[in-house]
Structure 1
């Protein structure tokens, strides 16, 4: 399911306009992104939790040349599936 399909499903389920459904989806995703940007954790009970994981700097290797490369520290979002989602997918 992509964002457009989610907007369409919300529109059909609630009998609101496509513009209103798009606004709701945008508010939801922007709220999640804003929370993650601040370093907060996003938890949707039964579905998932998303949090920012910090990785320190390290020395890597260029796979083509074998040359050593310094990798800067970084932060990445980490998705963890909830128990209910795991059970639904594993049926």
Structure 2
């Protein structure tokens, strides 16, 4: 499912126009993004938790040549699914 399809599903379930649902979805995603950039975690009870994680510098390998490559430290986003989401998938 892509973002426009998700917005259409929200519009149908929440009795909103597609434009209103798209604005609401964009607002939610923007707030999650801003919270993660501030190093806050975002917990949606029953769904899961988004958190920022730090990856340390490490040595990788170039798959074409096999030579070692230095990979810089970086931040990434992790998602830990909640019990409700895990149960609905299994």
TM over 0.5: yes
- Name the SS of the counterpart of 1:53 in structure 2: strand
Query: How many residues align structurally?
Result: 90
Instruction: Provide the rounded CA distance (Å) in 2 between the counterparts of 1:38 and 1:20.
Output: 27
TM-score of the superposition, structure 1-length normalised?
A: 0.90
Instruction: Provide the rounded CA distance (Å) in 2 between the counterparts of 1:51 and 1:80.
Output: 8
Instruction: Provide the rounded CA distance (Å) in 2 between the counterparts of 1:66 and 1:6.
Output: 42
Q: Offset at 1:76?
A: 0.8
Q: Hey, what does 1:20 align to over in structure 2? A: 20
Instruction: Provide the rounded CA distance (Å) in 2 between the counterparts of 1:87 and 1:9.
Output: 22
* Structure 1 segments (4+ residues) deviating >6 Å: none
Instruction: Provide the rounded CA distance (Å) in 1 between the counterparts of 2:16 and 2:58.
Output: 50
Q: What CA RMSD, in Å, does the superposition of the two structures yield over aligned residues?
A: 1.1
Q: Hey, what does 1:86 align to over in structure 2? A: 86
TM-score of the superposition, structure 2-length normalised?
A: 0.91
- Name the SS of the counterpart of 1:87 in structure 2: helix
Q: Offset at 1:14?
A: 2.5
Unpaired runs of at least 5, structure 2: none
Instruction: Provide the rounded CA distance (Å) in 2 between the counterparts of 1:66 and 1:11.
Output: 50
